[in-house]
Amino acid sequence: MAALKPLLYVFVYPGLLFLFAYGTFCEWFDRKVYARLQNRMGPTHTGRWGLLQPVADFVKLMAKEDVVPEKADKGLFTALPVVGLAVVATAMLLVPVWHVSPTASGFNSFSGDIIVLLYLLSLPTLIFFLAGWSSTNLFSTVGGTRVLTMLFGYEVPLFLAVLSPALLAGSWRLAEIAAFYQARPLLLLVNLPAFAISLVCVQAKLERTPFDIPHAETEIVGGTFTEFSGKKLAFFRLMTDIELVVSSGLLATVFLGGFPGGVGWGFVQFILKTLFIIFLLSLMRAATSRIRVDQVVSFAWRFLAPAAVGQLLLVILLKGFMP
């Protein structure tokens, strides 16, 4: 039984099977909310309420012809979608869906896991850059360059904002951070500015409107993914869906008090809290329009970074007065 538990983590919950099911559901939820906010219907035909549309899209792409450009770095071009999917799936194992108490233990819970999780969430950006660069297509190269340019804007504010609750909790372990705020729910209000900053940064990390500059169809066709098709594109889309789940799970853990109550009630809270965050991201997506890549970096350093530093100073002062 002891050997079976890690396998259940990796392959069932919160592993690959759960991530595929919940990732595609979150894509449907995001598309549905986004459509309704624009007075459209969104997915309707495949499955009840169009619920199976993302799954149908994935299956359709898997059946499509897989084309590799003649001048592309074929090894890198082929490996990157699989590596990216493995990275975000591994990151999900660190979200404490089951372990949310100060005495929690497990192979996926350790001191400093929040740092590792933030590092793993940084890797997809580099993978997107390499994907665009390895294809040698002009549009893909421009898209990859934009991805890397945006990284220098939002990454620092995101790290500062997410680590502020950890500093107040006095721990670099996600389970202990969640437990700290479960015991002191009023302190969650202190981190509201950091939560707002993190939402904006995650929106940029996921390259969603208004930060969808790297794959702007009206400017550079499909950007990073211009040359990708078939299975590789399907893996990249699934990777993006899972990254949305992991990012939402991270924000729910550090800003919304985690998912207390054991496997059953904890699972329900995980679903509700992550869907709430995805709703906020969809709302931001519907309420804004695309901006230029230089505006992203300027906005991040002029507004997000100073606000994140201010939040950090507030937390340091508050911690100095805490017993």
CB of 305 closer than 8 Å to CB of 226:
no
Ramachandran sector of residue 48 (left: φ over 0; alpha: ψ -120 to 50; beta: rest) = beta
The pair of three-digit structure tokens given for residue 161, joined into one six-digit string: 């904002």
Gyration radius (Cα) of the chain, Å: 20
Mean pLDDT confidence for 96-124:
75
Residue 104 banded pLDDT, cuts 50, 70, 90: very low
This prediction has a pTM of 0.91
Between 262 and 138, name the one with better pLDDT. 138
For 243-280, how does the pLDDT look when each residue is reduced to its tens digit (9 = 90+)?
A: 999 999 999 999 998 887 666 787 888 999 999 999 99
For 203-255, how does the pLDDT look when each residue is reduced to its tens digit (9 = 90+)?
A: 999 988 898 888 877 777 777 888 888 899 899 999 999 999 999 999 999 99
Residue 99 banded pLDDT, cuts 50, 70, 90: low
CB of 34 closer than 8 Å to CB of 42:
yes
pLDDT of residue 103: 47
Q: What is the 3-state secondary structure (H, E, C) of 97-111?
A: CCCCCCCCCECCECC
Dihedral sign, CA of 19, 153, 139, 68?
negative
The pair of three-digit structure tokens given for residue 222, joined into one six-digit string: 């499909």
pLDDT of residue 102: 46
Mean pLDDT confidence for 283-307:
89
